[in-house]
Amino acid sequence: MPFSDLPERLREVRDRIDAAIGRGGHRQAVTIVAVTKTHGPDAVQAAIDAGLHDVGENRVQEALPKMDAIQAPVRWHLIGHLQRNKARALPRFDLLHSLDSARLADAVNEVGLQEGRPVEALVQVNVVGEETKGGFERAEWAAEAERLRGMSGIRVRGVMTMAPLDADERTLRTVFAGARDARDILRGAGHDATELSMGMSNDYELAVEEGATLVRLGTILFGARSA
């Protein structure tokens, strides 16, 4: 049976999350987003059977066939970079994590206006200015928060960030605390920004300590990916 050890893995992850919430003191609820990229629909079904109903995909073209194959109710999260020419697929998703540029925001806003309902989105921030990652840098946060207020096709729900690979604890905490700062700026600009999407299989416990409300977990739940 594929992913037969998922329930046991999930129990351990949930125990670790509970402990991290206690250490961090933010007292937030944490949702696990099961990242099934490079796995087939059987991984999504295994997640559902284990009690997970939030599923994350990096690419639109990989997500859509899985959506068509799964009949159970699932909240679909688009967590990877979105090309503007694929924004028309956003109505199939419940939450976009990677609103990472002003140009993409313009395209997403158009989709929301055309659909007659706003696209639920998180603003991706690049806290330490990594050249290899997208997202708004600190100097842009306040201005973009104000600009997004004028976009009725987008509902800003919070912030997403990614820490550098192999970062030490100090850097991780700097990144995650920076995401909290960005969320505060969004709130100050009038957005109903409650979510912090941060933390993956290698750093989710620290992310939860720093206030994460959404953690994006793949390898720790499903094992090594095939690609």
Three-state secondary structure string covering 76-87: EEECCCCCHHHH
pLDDT at 2: 81
Under 8 Å between Cβ of 201 and 19? no
d(CA 127, CA 206): 16
pLDDT at 225: 63
Helix (H) or strand (E) holding 139: helix 138-149
Q: Which two tokens stand for residue 53?
A: 């109903």
Beta bridge partners of 156: 121
Under 8 Å between Cβ of 158 and 213? yes
What is the dihedral angle through the alpha carbons of 160, 184, 146, 92, rounded to the nearest 10 degrees?
30
Which residue in the block uniquely carries the two structure tokens 């912090």? 196
Q: Which domains does the chain have, with CATH numbers?
A: 6-222 (3.20.20.10)
The predicted model scores a pTM of: 0.95
- pLDDT tens digits along 181-211: 999 999 999 999 999 999 999 999 999 999 9
Indicate whether 12 pLDDT > 70.
yes
- pLDDT tens digits along 120-177: 999 999 999 888 889 999 999 999 999 999 999 999 999 999 999 889 999 999 999 9
